[in-house]
Amino acid sequence: MAGLEERLADLGGEVKEQLVSALENRTYRRMQIYNRYLADAIVNYFEGKGVLETDRDGFSGRLRHFLPDDALKGVVHGIRSTERRMPIELLESLNDWERVYFFAGVQQRQGRVKNPEGHIDELVFAYIWVGFGHLQKHKKYGTKELPHTSAIMREMESYEGGNASPQYPGQEAQLMLKLKF
């Protein structure tokens, strides 16, 4: 699979404007989903947008296997807060796990986008990295590593130019400062 920068390179300025608008104009609604249906809510959103790449039941099961309900709830909140404005072209450019990490990052990073003129791949990866770091810290006990960890680490190293580890909480803030997001 091509790197994130390559996959997002063809997205135009209009998609980036829609993304920034979605991130800056989040709406927060009460969720009325029982915990046992959180993974299904994520899968239903991806499937409804036509971007689910893997088997529905298999992906839902993997979400439940790796992530506790509180972590899944954060992903669902990230989806629900931006679902009406999120550009489909962006969702199509990410794989299933990148979308999960992205929406977890949306939930974790609240507030305005500090550099809306930056590159879209840097903006998207900043949210993926924050979400990945958060979910890495909150994964289920006994889970060695989250899916696509090596790919996320390679992406991080390409942006940071050094060693990447989601185990260091300050690194999320450093990336945001470096990328100015």
| Domain boundaries along the sequence of the chain | 4-179
Cβ atoms of 111 and 172 closer than 8 Å: no
Greatest mean pLDDT range, 94-98, 139-143, 168-172: 94-98
Q: Which DSSP string corresponds to 111-176?
A: S--S-TTS-HHHHHHHHHHHHHHHHHHHSPTT----TTHHHHHHHHHHHHSS---TT-THHHHHHH
pLDDT for the residue numbered 39: 94
CB 67 within 8 A of CB 140: yes
Give the tens place of pLDDT for each residue, 4-41. Answer: 888 888 887 899 999 999 999 888 766 666 677 899 99
Question: Which tokens is 168 given?
Answer: 């260091």
Element (H, E) at 51: none
Please report, for residues 13, 52, 111, 123, 176, the alpha-carbon distance to residue 57 in angstroms, rounded to integers and kept in the order given: 35, 11, 34, 31, 35
* Res 31: pLDDT: 64
pLDDT of residue 162: 45
Torsion angle of C-alpha atoms 48, 80, 132, 148, degrees rounded to 10? 0
**More confident position, 106 or 157:** 106
Interval 108-137 mean pLDDT? 86
Helices 120-138 and 69-82: crossing angle, nearest 10°? 150
Residue 97 CA to residue 112 CA, distance in Å, equals: 24
Q: How far apart are CA 144 and CA 142, in angstroms?
A: 6
| pLDDT confidence of residue 169 | 43
Does the predicted TM-score (pTM) go above 0.95? no
Q: What average pLDDT does range 152-175 have in this prediction?
A: 60
Model confidence pLDDT, tens digit, residues 55-113: 999 999 999 999 999 999 999 999 999 988 899 999 999 999 999 999 999 999 877 78
- Residue 126 sits at the vertex; the CA angle it makes with 65 and 108, to the nearest 5 degrees, is 60
Most confident of 24-33, 109-118, 146-155: 146-155
- Per-residue pLDDT band for 178 (boundaries 50, 70, 90) equals low
